[in-house]
Amino acid sequence: MNGRNPKKPGTDPLGHHFRVYRHIAESSAFLCLSPVDVCVYLALGRDLRQSNNGDLSLTAKQAKERGIGHHLTLAKALRALRAVGLIDITSKGGCQRGGQRLRTLYRFTHLECYEHRTKGIEACKATNDWERVKTVEQGKALIADAEEQALALHREKTKSLGHAVTTTRTRGDGKSPRTRTRRDVWIDEPGHGVTCGEAAESPASMRVSGGFGEDAGNANHRTLRRPPLQVAIPTADFEHVEEVA
């Protein structure tokens, strides 16, 4: 024996329990909840003791063990409970430097919250925030607004910046040759533009599909009396090299 009396006055003979008071269960704030929201409310209250209100958490792993299968379902239910004032956050969790993750801590607003200095939780009296919900319609509207705000925040965090994403190729696609002029911007890799003219100072643009053919006499870019001047102009940031045929 450890000196504790399991049957001392004031203890429940059936063990630990979490009370759902009738005036809360019949309130508009509670009646507008979905069945999943109620399950999360009970799952969070499962760890409530005499002095740890404000130091309550419900991780995805704990929620799954208590019947809430998906972390998004858990997050949505917690937002609903906060929206109608049944619970409130006492310490915002998240990832710290070094990869350490802190849990988000909650309190039930109908109970007194006690101080926990090591976790930055201040003591406060019961605030009963759920009493501000006067009708079921008002409670549902508050939950909808909370979801809209969460969606807007998600869009803000995940919105793309810069220009539109270019199209991608599948692995089976062949790589077609690219010809670019000197004015073209850098795309994926160094390339070259091929020009034709009498002098490099005034080139005339031309296009080549796969390279030069073996029979140069049939090239459609030649004149009758003068061979062409072919200039290869690199488009990367290295020294300009010209090859004159």
The pLDDT tens digits along the chain (245 residues) read: 444 555 555 677 888 889 999 999 999 999 999 999 999 999 999 999 988 999 999 999 999 999 998 999 999 999 999 999 999 999 988 766 666 778 999 999 999 998 888 888 899 999 999 999 999 999 999 999 999 999 988 888 777 555 455 555 555 555 555 555 555 554 555 555 555 555 555 555 555 555 555 555 555 555 555 555 555 555 555 555 455 44
Residue type, 78: L
Cα–Cα nearest to 81, from 130, 117, 127, 122: 130
Which class would CATH give 22-94+101-153? mainly alpha
pTM over 0.75: no
Sequence ranges of the domains in the chain? 22-94+101-153, 177-245
CA angle (15 as vertex; 11, 18 as ends), nearest 5: 90
Report CA 93 to chain centroid distance, whole Å: 16
